[in-house]
Structure 1
Amino acid sequence: MGWLTAGEGYEVALVEGRVAARATVGRAAGRQLKSLPKGLKDHPEVDRLRRLAQWLDRHATACVAQVDSWMVSSLPVPTELVARVWPDEAWQAALRDLVVVGDDPDEVGFLRDATDAGELRVVNLDGETVRLSPSTVTLPHPVLLPDLEDLREFAAELGVVQRVEQIHRATWTRPTEQAPNATQVSDFSGGRFASRFGLAARATALGYRVSGGYATCQVRDGGLITEASVWIGEPYWDGDTETGALSFSGQDGRSLRLSEVGPVAWSEGMRMAAALYAGRQVEEGRSA
């Protein structure tokens, strides 16, 4: 966006998400000012730019949330859609450098560009830029990436920074040996908090839903929707509380045995439980 006339002797514009001003007359003409002049703070053009900046922030947040949803669910995304939204800076920032997979499972690489013709350009593990034109592309959850450690090492060499946490996302693999009828995981139980309100607020701040006495997250795993739940205390209890066990249920509400939980749902459920537990009170002298 270019500079807009605002009052006598000034122009304003959005610069790095903030309203900036520059003089159009005098010795400082053409030079960006360190702060907005007092007379411009209530100018209509300044107010309009502030509202635009707020909308752009919300848009960028929504793009990241949508791409994160695609990645967590490992949903096939039409390549044409990726190409269509790519010119939008917010979408491009959310998508750029994510690991994508084309029609062939071996077509894996970091997304660097998308053309109007629906062609994707990715950097593979050999360091080569290759062109892919699949009808759909998948942004896999990291627990599904067999070459995750190689991708992490290569990302460090490339200086890759992902807006959507993918390859450096904390992951957990379901143990192969479990009691046949086990339905709960207690690894992150017993994390004490000063109040149930504080624990619920932490869950919400981390992006999880609070329903009744539980913090929950829904995950689409292999075409099935699984809900992971961690007990956080009675809703109207105002005293201290502790994190409870992690459990899983299917789309029909049926409690699942741990052996029935898919790899993505397991990893995301454990990630939620660990993140809640990390905010617990720690006795003085002990490591957090």
Structure 2
Amino acid sequence: MGWVSAGDGYEIALIEGRVAARPTAGRAAGRRLKSLPKQLRDHPEVERLRRLAEWLDRHAEACLSQVDTWMVSSLPVPTGLVAEVWPDEAWRSVLRDLVVVGDDPDEPGFLRDVTAEGELRVVNLDGETVRLSPATVTLPHPVLLSDLADLREFAAELGVVQRVEQIHRSTWEKPDDLAEQATQVTEFAGAKFTSRFGLAARATSLGYRVSGGYATCTVRDAGCTVEASVWIGEPYWDGDTETGGLSWNDRGGRPLPLREVGPVAWSEGMRMAAALYAGRTVEEGTDA
């Protein structure tokens, strides 16, 4: 966005999300000022750019949230849609360098560019840039990537930085020796907190929903919607509390046997439980 006139003797522009000003005359003409002059702070054009900056921030957050949802759920996204949003910097900065797969799920690669015609340019694990034109493209959850270790190593070589946490996302694989009737994981139960409100605040700050006495996350796994939940204490109780077990329910609220929980739902549920557990009160001393 270019510089626009604002008042007598000044121009303003939106630079890195903030309104900047520069004089148009005098010795400092054309030189960006460190702060807005007092006479510009309430100028209509300055207020317009501030509102634009706020909208751009909300737009960027919405793009990040949407792409994160696509990745966590491994949803196939129409390639035409990706091509349509790619020119938008907010979308492009989130999508670029994510691992994607086209028609062949065994050929993942890092998304580097998209043409207006919907052709994807992807760098594969051989270091080659390949061109793909699938009807849909998938951003796989990392627990589904068999080449995850190789992708992490190659990403380090390329200097890849993902805005959506994908290949460096914490993952948990479901054990094969689960009891047939088991419906709860207690690995992260018993984490003590001095305040139930504090534990609830931790859950929401991590992006999880608090409903009743539970912290929850909803995941779409293999076409099914599953909700993982961890007990965090009675609502409105502000005394000491501790985390309970982790369980999963289907869309109708039926508790799922652990053997029926899909790999993505399992990993995301364990990730939530571990993140809550990490904020526990740790006792000091030799008996801690």
| TM-score, normalised via structure 1 length | 0.98
1:9-59, Cα deviation, whole Å (9 max, x unpaired):
111100011110111000010111111111111111111111111110010
**Letter of the 1:196 counterpart:** R
1:200-224, Cα deviation, whole Å (9 max, x unpaired):
1111111111100000011000011
Secondary structure of 2:247's counterpart equals strand
> Hey, what does 1:10 align to over in structure 2?
10
In the alignment, is residue 69 of structure 1 matched against residue 82 of structure 2? no
In the alignment, is residue 114 of structure 1 matched against residue 114 of structure 2? yes
Question: Mean Cα displacement is larger for which, 71-80 or 106-115?
Answer: 106-115
Distance 1:106 1:229 in 2: 32
Distance 1:193 1:19 in 2: 43
> Hey, what does 2:151 align to over in structure 1?
151
Matches of residues 150-229 of structure 1 in structure 2 within 5 Å? 150-229=150-229
Q: CA deviation at 1:106?
A: 3.1
> Hey, what does 1:78 align to over in structure 2?
78
Distance 2:2 2:138 in 1: 37
Distance 2:142 2:156 in 1: 16
Q: How many residue pairs align between the two structures?
A: 287
In the alignment, is residue 263 of structure 1 matched against residue 263 of structure 2? yes
> Hey, what does 1:57 align to over in structure 2?
57
Distance 2:56 2:19 in 1: 13
Q: CA deviation at 1:78?
A: 0.3
Distance 1:31 1:259 in 2: 65
Distance 1:274 1:37 in 2: 49
> Hey, what does 1:34 align to over in structure 2?
34
Q: CA deviation at 1:107?
A: 2.9
> Hey, what does 2:95 align to over in structure 1?
95
**Letter of the 2:75 counterpart:** L
> Hey, what does 2:105 align to over in structure 1?
105
Q: CA deviation at 1:247?
A: 0.4
Distance 2:48 2:91 in 1: 23
Unmatched 5+ residue regions in structure 2?
none
Q: CA deviation at 1:237?
A: 0.7
**Letter of the 1:200 counterpart:** A
Q: CA deviation at 1:284?
A: 2.7
Matches of residues 235-254 of structure 1 in structure 2 within 5 Å? 235-254=235-254
**Letter of the 1:204 counterpart:** T
With over 3 angstroms needed to count, the CA separation of the structure-2 counterparts of 1:285 and 1:46, relative to structure 1, is farther
Distance 1:89 1:9 in 2: 32
Question: Mean Cα displacement is larger for which, 101-110 or 57-66?
Answer: 101-110
> Hey, what does 1:284 align to over in structure 2?
284
Unmatched 5+ residue regions in structure 1?
none
Question: Mean Cα displacement is larger for which, 143-152 or 187-196?
Answer: 187-196
> Hey, what does 1:127 align to over in structure 2?
127
Distance 2:4 2:155 in 1: 41
With over 3 angstroms needed to count, the CA separation of the structure-2 counterparts of 1:91 and 1:234, relative to structure 1, is same
1:184-205, Cα deviation, whole Å (9 max, x unpaired):
1011111111111111111111
Secondary structure of 2:32's counterpart equals coil
In the alignment, is residue 43 of structure 1 matched against residue 43 of structure 2? yes
Kindly report structure 1 stretches of 4+ aligned residues shifted beyond 6 Å: none
Distance 2:252 2:149 in 1: 36
Q: CA deviation at 1:240?
A: 1.2
In the alignment, is residue 272 of structure 1 matched against residue 272 of structure 2? yes
**Letter of the 2:39 counterpart:** G
Q: CA deviation at 1:285?
A: 5.2
